[in-house]
Amino acid sequence: MRILLVGAGGVGSAFAAIAARRHFFEHIVISDYDETRAQVAAAVDDRFSAVRVDASDAGSVEALVHEHSITHVMNAVDPRFVMPIFEGAYAGGADYLDMAMSLSRPHPESPYTLPGVTLGEEQFAAAQDWESAGRLALVGIGVEPGLSDVLARYAADHLFSEIDELGVRDGASLTVDGYDFAPSFSIWTTIEECLNPPVVWEKDEQNPDGAWRTTEPFSEPEVFDFPDGIGPVECVNVEHEEVLLMPRWLDAKRVTFKYGLGDEFIDVLKTLHKLGLDRTEPLRVGGVDVSPRDVVAAALPDPATIGDKMHGKTCAGVLVTGRGKDGEQLSTYLYHVVDNDWSMREYGHQCVVWQTAVNPVIALELLASGTWSGAGVLGPEAFDAVPFLDLLTEYGSPWSRQDR
């Protein structure tokens, strides 16, 4: 297996650090728009090399695939670059993985009722091409989406006979020394997913086969008690890929995603929206075209650099309700917690980017061994969960279950 890693930011660098301890691949080419950053990430292992890439140009990705005999393209940049990387991998003859899917566009007339272009829709439109070519695009294989989808598949296969709701719930107890506001993940991506209309999947009398609908941002607040000392966090509906992925392979009456943002974070996002600072369209400022969202991202600390100032834990998981294999009512939270002190001590990377990066490394190892295989555009739910969860434990970061 020869891997092209596109993106050497926080998640890409953590991916490299995790992969360096494994032996399932021959070589990893680490690429970034900033070649120096790629070189820093590549310095951890002799099996790594560094090159420059323009992730906005499918031809740039295709050329690297050919030049380095790449078998798998791993996308570790923000979702605005999904389609050129996805298309470049296909044109080059490589398989493809990502941790976030192609961007959505709200419904032009009823954005808070009806979906417009949904997350991943552009990629699923090409599914037949990938399948006919015998090639795999494994989409949404980060932590959320990714591990949460694997846990949902595990619940469907091994714990439940009937599922009422798959409710992804994400929360943390993280603080950052010296900062009142310092997101632990890409603010560009955070703005995108938090200010777009959230999507919910539901089956009811009007939609017996199930359908997606949208709501207003930050809707349906609930307090969720996260395990391992994190405690109660208010969670709200947020647009996320799991809601678009899980119903394609798993039978559930409802699928939701709620993020534990907290009042302060929500207020900041609302203010950015009111001021137009969440927009991606360039503005002319002093003779220079600049995207307001890019300015916000540049003004905040790089999430990859704040690990030594972070404290606390992050938790990702899915609350599953319905009937167990015995026919009795069951409610259980399947989850994964990473302590920042542990991830910094063990890998030198903060917990949020580490928790995101470990999952595609595991997926690639399963693909390399032939344990996972397939063709087309597939989500994590399309594969057996047990080998993945076993490897996660082998990597030193086990998952857990808490009945409720």
Residue-range domain boundaries for the chain: 2-98, 147-351
What is residue 338's predicted lDDT score, i.e. its pLDDT? 98
Q: Which tokens hold the place of 236?
A: 């709200």
CATH of 2-98, one of 3.90.1150.10, 1.20.120.160, 1.10.1660.10, 3.40.50.720: 3.40.50.720
How would residue 177 be classed by pLDDT, with cut points 50, 70 and 90?
confident
Q: Is the pLDDT of residue 229 over 80?
A: yes
Domains 2-98 and 147-351 share a fold: no
For 239-262, the pLDDT digits (tens) are 999 999 999 999 999 999 999 987
pLDDT given for residue 15 in this prediction: 98
Question: Pairing state of beta strands 400-403 and 376-378?
Answer: unpaired
Q: Is the pLDDT of residue 45 over 80?
A: yes
Query: What's the whole-number mean pLDDT along residues 218-226?
Result: 94
Summarize pLDDT for 268-321 with one digit per residue, the tens.
888 988 888 888 888 888 888 888 888 888 888 877 788 888 899 999 999 999
- Which residue type does 174 have? L
Query: Which CATH entry fits the domain spanning 147-351: 3.30.360.10, 3.30.390.30, 3.30.230.30, 3.90.1010.20?
Result: 3.30.360.10
What pLDDT is stored for residue 274 in this prediction?
Answer: 87
Reported as a pLDDT band with limits 50, 70 and 90, residue 204 is: confident
pLDDT band for position 85 (cuts 50, 70, 90): very high
pLDDT of 192: 79
Q: Of all residues in the chain, what percent carry a pLDDT higher than 70?
A: 100
Tens-place pLDDT, residues 112-165: 999 999 999 999 999 999 999 999 999 999 999 999 999 999 999 999 999 999
Residues facing residue 96 across a β-bridge: 73, 137
Range with lowest mean pLDDT among 219-223, 267-271, 363-367: 267-271
**Per-residue pLDDT, 280:** 84
Q: What is the mean pLDDT of residues 173-188?
A: 80
Residues 390 and 244: their CA atoms lie apart, in Å, by 26
Mean pLDDT on 186-204: 86
Residues ≥6 apart with Cβ < 8 Å to 143: 99, 316, 336, 355, 356, 358, 359
pLDDT at 258: 97
41, pLDDT greater than 90: yes
Residue type, 122: E
Mean pLDDT to the nearest integer, 373-401: 98
C-alpha distance from residue 323 to each of 134, 168, 350, 385 (Å) = 37, 18, 37, 20
CB 373 within 8 A of CB 141: no
pTM of the model: 0.93
Q: What is the mean pLDDT of residues 204-219?
A: 92
Please check whether residue 402 is in contact with residue 320, taking contact to mean a CB–CB distance below 8 angstroms: no
Q: Which residue has the higher pLDDT, 309 or 334?
A: 334
